[in-house]
Structure 1
């Protein structure tokens, strides 16, 4: 009888004690980005009661909901949030960058409201998964950014090197370059690996080798001429200067010096007009008595005017370049062939 009483009492207290079901949301362990795809390093992550403007909602680092996390939470240097757990129900979140500037949301909303906490008691069947990886920037993704310095989560495509923390790499020497090292090692066999390529990318990274990054300095980017289709022939080795179906191939130049064969067909008129000419002359007139003629038989002699026969001179053009040529003109210097261009920095995702 006494045992039954205490058992009933214990059950009563158990039923009266608060019970919290733990769950999470897809933001847990996810990396946050701004509208340009740049990681939100050291960002603030606010968890708010659903339907309110700013009333805090507790988050915990354990599924038993006993070890509270600060609110707001802070992302790490790569913009990634820690793992956290929430009580079952709906919540609201808001994100601000490291300077406290709130991030933009659709329709100007002040955060994202009415997010369902996913967990065993919330019908999620084992907890919420992370974000769809296809919606995030993948390793090897190239990004333009209007700046010139380093960018968290990325390295610059500047022809320098990446590798492990003791590799001596010149762009970034850190363990977080492993994924990009492996990707580039497999994607482009022309990228130089210090000491030569070994059995695998993983082996080379473990051996503290470096790999050269794509070199986009002073270069525009164009699509491969085939990209999974037949080659379009818009870029050919004759003019591009490299095989345009090879990833990472480089070609082109900022200037061009024309050869004679590349100049449009033309001529320089240099004719001389020589229509021919004559030299006129008039014969002298002799009066009576000239040449010893005298008397009544002496007569005045008159000779008619005349001229020499017409003839050309055979004049020809000559110059320092030779007979029948004109003097050269122009300097033979290269001329610019650069399209209108604006410069930014090109990054590649670690």
Structure 2
């Protein structure tokens, strides 16, 4: 805001005792302070709206992220494991498994996989992947190590590391094992030892798998607080705030927009104007519109009332508030629904309105606007009343008192009908005038036009 010191500064010879000298300055200061207070209200409103928008934006942003996180957590298992109902016999060689359709697209294909019958931990095989088709779900492998025997059609397939099978393919006896040492084990003992070795390899594979899955889940969590690191905690938090989020969305839907058009009902428009401190029912404005804008009616010297009143200007339920304003004006009279004048008003505006009575609005057509009240030295004017006329016809009683001079030429003797003689200056003796002498009549007696130059608009009243 621009500084106005020069407007407030006291100058030499100023009359400091004159109230107007100080009142003009105080009024300006008061207006500037009031403007700042209004700005403060607008800023507070803008902050509230910004807060609502920010909460909505957070909701719009957070909900998809949480949904995606839940979906990704749900699919973690499918990245590292799958199932198959292919009929396969445990043993060496090449094997083919058809992966379950729900996991084949996201399955991570490693170099080696561990495969075992569902529910059985003492048998299975470790194989190297030779081919995988995500579309068909066919997984081709070559078995490098197996344990147990049998044919099964329900398999669990998980990723694993490469087994240590170097010794199993060598024939040079790198450890120089003797025949006696080999003979120290029975076939059953050898089988047990092999089974234990395979079981150890499978257990190691499971440990490595679990570790990989745990690392993937930790990376997905991204260090989130322990209060929200499980699906049930996230789901509970979202559910607990459903009403809050819903309330925010509803509030945003009810806000008065300034960036786009809105289709508001009369009640919504009325409330919005009230909130903005704008027009209220009974307020008047000048307009060049022939048809009233929504929420207004044009003054046409008619009547207003409810839908059953038969009012000539507006008969609608939206006139109730304006009706109450005009009902309180003594100059505004009432009519019944047939248009017949009613002598006096009822107990209240609401009571007369409910009886479908019309209210006669002030006469405005063709009239100049004046201010109601008692001006200093002027006639008191009643709110809503009318006065004045377009023309005025002069009469004797309205003419200022005055005289007319009559000059008669000199005469030798007075006429017999003259009762007395007044001798004008310079006239000869014997000249005179009668007491009842009058001048001839002049003028047409037409009314005077007393209308000043004007232009004409319409008056609209807020409903």
CA distance in 1, matches of 2:231, 2:332: 76
What corresponds to 2:355 in structure 1?
207
Unaligned runs of 5+ in 1: 31-44, 48-71, 83-128, 237-243, 278-310
- 1:15 deviates by 7.7
In 2 relative to 1, CA 330–209 (structure 1 residues): closer, same or farther, beyond 3 Å?
same
In 2 relative to 1, CA 224–27 (structure 1 residues): closer, same or farther, beyond 3 Å?
farther
User: Counterparts in 2 of 1:31-46, with a 5 A limit?
Assistant: none
**Greater Cα radius of gyration, structure 1 or 2:** 2
In 2 relative to 1, CA 137–9 (structure 1 residues): closer, same or farther, beyond 3 Å?
closer
- Given that 1:164 and 1:208 are in contact with CA atoms closer than 8 Å, whether structure 2 keeps it comes out as yes
* Matched residue SS, 1:187: coil
CA distance in 2, matches of 1:275, 1:176: 86
CA distance in 2, matches of 1:346, 1:26: 36
Match of 2:376 among 209, 219, 232: 232
Q: 1:21-71 deviations in whole A, cap 9, x for unaligned?
A: 5268899465xxxxxxxxxxxxxx564xxxxxxxxxxxxxxxxxxxxxxxx
Q: Does 1:250 find its partner at 2:250?
A: no
In 2 relative to 1, CA 26–276 (structure 1 residues): closer, same or farther, beyond 3 Å?
farther
Equivalenced residue count is 213
- 1:78 deviates by 5.0
Match of 1:75 among 263, 269, 272: 263
- 1:219 deviates by 1.4
Q: Give the TM-score taking structure 1 as reference length.
A: 0.50
- 1:184 deviates by 1.3
CA distance in 1, matches of 2:459, 2:436: 57
Q: Does 1:334 find its partner at 2:447?
A: yes
Q: Does 1:10 find its partner at 2:232?
A: yes
What corresponds to 2:279 in structure 1?
137
Q: 1:80-134 deviations in whole A, cap 9, x for unaligned?
A: 569xxxxxxxxxxxxxxxxxxxxxxxxxxxxxxxxxxxxxxxxxxxxxx966647
What corresponds to 2:408 in structure 1?
272
User: Counterparts in 2 of 1:123-202, with a 5 A limit?
Assistant: 133=275, 135-188=277-330, 190-194=332-336, 195=342, 196-202=344-350
In 2 relative to 1, CA 27–220 (structure 1 residues): closer, same or farther, beyond 3 Å?
farther
What corresponds to 2:368 in structure 1?
220
CA distance in 1, matches of 2:299, 2:368: 12
CA distance in 1, matches of 2:252, 2:400: 65
- Given that 2:408 and 2:431 are in contact with CA atoms closer than 8 Å, whether structure 1 keeps it comes out as no
In 2 relative to 1, CA 185–27 (structure 1 residues): closer, same or farther, beyond 3 Å?
farther
In 2 relative to 1, CA 162–73 (structure 1 residues): closer, same or farther, beyond 3 Å?
same
- 1:185 deviates by 1.2
- 1:143 deviates by 1.0
* Matched residue SS, 1:176: helix
What corresponds to 1:324 in structure 2?
437
In 2 relative to 1, CA 81–162 (structure 1 residues): closer, same or farther, beyond 3 Å?
closer
What corresponds to 1:99 in structure 2?
none
What corresponds to 1:301 in structure 2?
none
CA distance in 2, matches of 1:202, 1:210: 12
CA distance in 2, matches of 1:154, 1:218: 20
- Given that 1:181 and 1:201 are in contact with CA atoms closer than 8 Å, whether structure 2 keeps it comes out as yes
CA distance in 2, matches of 1:27, 1:348: 30
- Given that 1:185 and 1:211 are in contact with CA atoms closer than 8 Å, whether structure 2 keeps it comes out as yes
- 1:337 deviates by 1.2
More helix by share: 2
CA distance in 2, matches of 1:23, 1:247: 47
User: Counterparts in 2 of 1:13-28, with a 5 A limit?
Assistant: 21=245, 22=248, 28=254
- Given that 1:257 and 1:333 are in contact with CA atoms closer than 8 Å, whether structure 2 keeps it comes out as yes
- 1:250 deviates by 1.8
* Matched residue SS, 2:334: coil
Q: Give the TM-score taking structure 2 as reference length.
A: 0.39
User: Counterparts in 2 of 1:291-302, with a 5 A limit?
Assistant: none
Unaligned runs of 5+ in 2: 1-225, 337-341, 414-427
- 1:245 deviates by 4.0
What corresponds to 2:395 in structure 1?
259
* Matched residue SS, 1:74: coil
CA distance in 2, matches of 1:134, 1:188: 30
- Given that 1:225 and 1:232 are in contact with CA atoms closer than 8 Å, whether structure 2 keeps it comes out as no
RMSD (CA atoms) = 4.1
